[in-house]
């Protein structure tokens, strides 16, 4: 009898829960398309470039193609004393200015303003110092697969400041009969490291890549574009990588892409860089 009462009560509770369901007519707030501005400035670049596009709101009917550049924007870059207008390049679809006309300097703060489609956005960023580790070391060892190699990178952190690093590696191959060296981008897994709670200590990272087996290179090497970036560069790229890693996973939480663009989306960041090379067998 007790089991029958429990079973009957359970059915009644289930019925009550189901009968509590109601259709809700909720009006979703209107979200306008925003300017999307992306620019990473560096003293080593031959020109400064700025990408300007429009976002496409999720619940809005829009003809905006998020891949199309906004060609009628007013783009200004300033160092606090001098200001310049960047010109739209119809080939690259970026707003550009030569480093000879407006050089970017380490340690300086720059200000970016963009106006288009009745919107105006702004951002600022400070270029990190052009100080680099004197003991940056690269070694190449055998990977887990037959054709795999592992790059081990290590260096001593620059003391007395918050630092963000992004070593970008290329494999160098020279084949028999060739005079030029082939550079292969092996940075499909980007490396980003900060010195939080490790000021002045040794930092390290590893990256796996696969060597070409046919034909066999006559000479092999690794070139690192050692990027010393600021916090905005680090946070933006890390959030993009996290978002890409959740793609296709229905149980993953959405990742908010970092932005420092006031009134819009995107990022304005800075970095300095230095190249290191080694050869290996």
Cα–Cα distances (Å) from 227 to 56, 117, 206, 276, in that order, read 32, 35, 16, 11
Cα–Cα distances (Å) from 127 to 103, 155, 183, in that order, read 12, 21, 28
The CATH class of 137-229 is: mainly beta
For the stretch 4-30, pLDDT in tens is: 444 445 545 555 555 556 676 666 666
For the stretch 48-76, pLDDT in tens is: 999 999 998 876 666 667 779 999 999 99
Tokens of 266: 């995107």
The CATH class of 35-126 is: mainly beta
Closest CA to 78 of 124, 14, 116, 39: 124
pLDDT lower than 50: segments of the chain = 1-8, 11
Q: What is the pLDDT of residue 21?
A: 60
Identical topology for domains 35-126 and 137-229: yes
Q: For residue 233, is the peptide bond before it cis, meaning its omega torsion is within 30 degrees of 0?
A: no
> Tokens 């209107």 map to which residue?
30
Asked if 246 and 185 touch (Cβ cutoff 8 Å), the reply is no
Tokens of 145: 């697969």
CA–CA separation, 167 and 236 (whole Å): 16
Q: What is the pLDDT of residue 62?
A: 60
Closest CA to 89 of 47, 44, 132, 41: 47
Phi, psi dihedrals of residue 46, rounded to the nearest 5°: -75, -25
Closest CA to 259 of 34, 32, 37, 30: 37
Domain positions in the chain are: 35-126, 137-229
Q: What is the pLDDT of residue 6?
A: 45
């Amino acid at each position: 009898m007790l089991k029958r009462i429990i079973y009957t009560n359970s059915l009644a509770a289930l019925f009550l829960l189901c009968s509590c369901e109601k259709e809700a007519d909720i009006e979703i707030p209107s979200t306008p398309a925003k300017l999307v501005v992306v620019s990473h400035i560096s003293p080593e670049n031959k020109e400064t470039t700025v990408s300007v596009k429009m976002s496409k709101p999720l619940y809005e009917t829009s003809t905006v193609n998020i891949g199309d550049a906004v060609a009628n924007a007013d783009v200004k870059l300033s160092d606090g004393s001098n200001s310049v207008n960047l010109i739209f390049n119809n080939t690259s679809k970026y707003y550009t200015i030569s480093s000879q006309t407006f050089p970017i300097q380490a340690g300086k703060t720059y200000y970016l303003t963009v106006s288009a489609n009745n919107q105006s956005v702004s951002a600022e960023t400070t270029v990190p110092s052009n100080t680099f580790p004197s003991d940056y070391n690269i070694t190449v060892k055998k990977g887990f697969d037959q054709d795999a190699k592992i790059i081990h990178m290590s260096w001593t952190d620059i003391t007395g400041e918050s630092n963000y690093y992004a070593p970008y590696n290329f494999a160098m191959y020279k084949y028999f009969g060739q005079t030029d060296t082939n550079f292969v981008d092996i940075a499909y897994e980007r490396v980003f490291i900060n010195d939080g709670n490790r000021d002045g200590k040794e930092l390290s990272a590893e990256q796996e890549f696969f060597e070409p087996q046919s034909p066999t290179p006559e000479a092999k090497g690794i070139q690192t574009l050692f990027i010393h970036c600021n916090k905005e560069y680090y946070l933006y790229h890390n959030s993009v990588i996290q978002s890409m890693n959740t793609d296709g996973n229905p149980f993953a939480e959405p990742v908010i892409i970092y932005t420092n663009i006031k009134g819009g989306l995107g990022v304005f960041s800075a970095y300095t860089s230095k190249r290191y090379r080694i050869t290996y067998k």
